[in-house]
Structure 1
Amino acid sequence: MTSRVTGAGGGVRGEAVSIRRATARDAKRLTRLIQRSSAYEGPYASMIAGYRVGPDYIETHQVFLAVDAEGRLLGFYALVLVPAELDLMFVADHAQGLGIGRRLIEHMRIQARGAGLDRVRVVSHPPAEGFYRSVGALRTGTEPANPPAVLWDRPELVIPVGTPS
């Protein structure tokens, strides 16, 4: 499934943004996006050190990416169906503030509803909690630190996706 989204605030410099299912061939570019994310610099660097998105992960889960009209990667998300969780979501640094994250969340909601889900759990990167709350996520608790990779507690939220039609 590929969806095209355009309009006010719709693209990168007014261009179309497409969201499509990732393939195993996208694994390296998704990994690079994670590794280059400025959101995980400094004290958060340990969480993504050595992290990689493998072809097997893409084939097992619902992974979707957003690209611009020239095919440049803008962001992606990974929806795990059982148990329902938004496992990964990243927006490229150069695409921050352009509405890509909101588009990915709306796309994820559609996929989740289609899979029969009514909510999706998110264990958020602490600085991203405000974004998730701005798209309707509700705080449900705290996921405790898990050293050595994750040295801090993280907000746990749920994103309501509505009932399947």
Structure 2
Amino acid sequence: MEIRPARPEEAALLTGIALRAKAYWGYDEAFMAACRAELVVDAGVIERSATTVAEDGGRVLGFVSLSGAPPTGSLDLLFVEPESIGRGIGRALFEQARSLAAALGLRRLTIDSDPNAEPFYLAMGATRIGSVPSGSIPGRELPQLVLHLATP
């Protein structure tokens, strides 16, 4: 598996991964339609943020996207193709994001997590600090986590 920077022309591919990975948790069509806009990755997102993909045999299996400026950033998106979940791809992408964030001078990453993904982030060292309203589902609260990064 290779981890490399995403390319702007991969935007539709990454959007497809995000939508399939979100649907993996059993959300219905109405839920998926309501949150679709938040999951769309366009070329501008890739160009403005630090977006990295995991590729195996020429196939992109997942991606992660960071944004922000020192000292605080956010882990905006982290999705893995459903059939590849459990193979360590999410962990590899998270570790890449952690290293890249530290190299960019970030000392802290916030993560507004899907409730189903919260255990993964906690296992990766993040701590829950509260909750935030969903940007697409009125009345829904999302776990908010923070990851403190080591100072070089």
TM-score, shorter chain, exceeding 0.5:
yes
Where do 1:25-104 residues align within 5 Å?
A: 25-37=9-21, 38-39=24-25, 41-42=27-28, 44-45=31-32, 46-48=34-36, 51-68=39-56, 70-82=57-69, 83-104=72-93
Q: Give the partner amino acid of 1:92.
A: E
SS at match of 1:48: helix
CA distance change for structure 1 residues 126 and 50 in 2, over 3 Å: closer, same or farther? Answer: closer
Paired with 2:25 and 2:37, the residues of 1 have a C-alpha distance of 13
Farther-moved stretch of structure 1 (47-56 vs 18-27): 47-56
TM value normalised by structure 2? 0.88
Alignment of 1:112-151 (within 5 A): 112-146=101-135, 149-151=136-138
Q: CA deviation at 1:64?
A: 0.3
RMSD: 1.7
Q: How many residues align?
A: 145
Distance of 2:38 and 2:94 partners within structure 1:
26
**Equivalent position SS for 2:64:** strand
Structure 1 counterpart SS, 2:116? helix
Structure 1's unaligned 5+ residue stretches are: 1-16
Q: TM-score, normalised by structure 1?
A: 0.81
Equivalent residue, structure 2, for 1:4: none
What's the offset of the Cα at 1:40? 6.2
The 4+ residue runs of structure 1 with deviation greater than 4 A are none
Q: Which has the larger radius of gyration?
A: 1
The percentage of aligned residue pairs carrying the same residue is 35
Shift of 1:52: 1.8
Deviation for aligned residue 1:50? 7.7
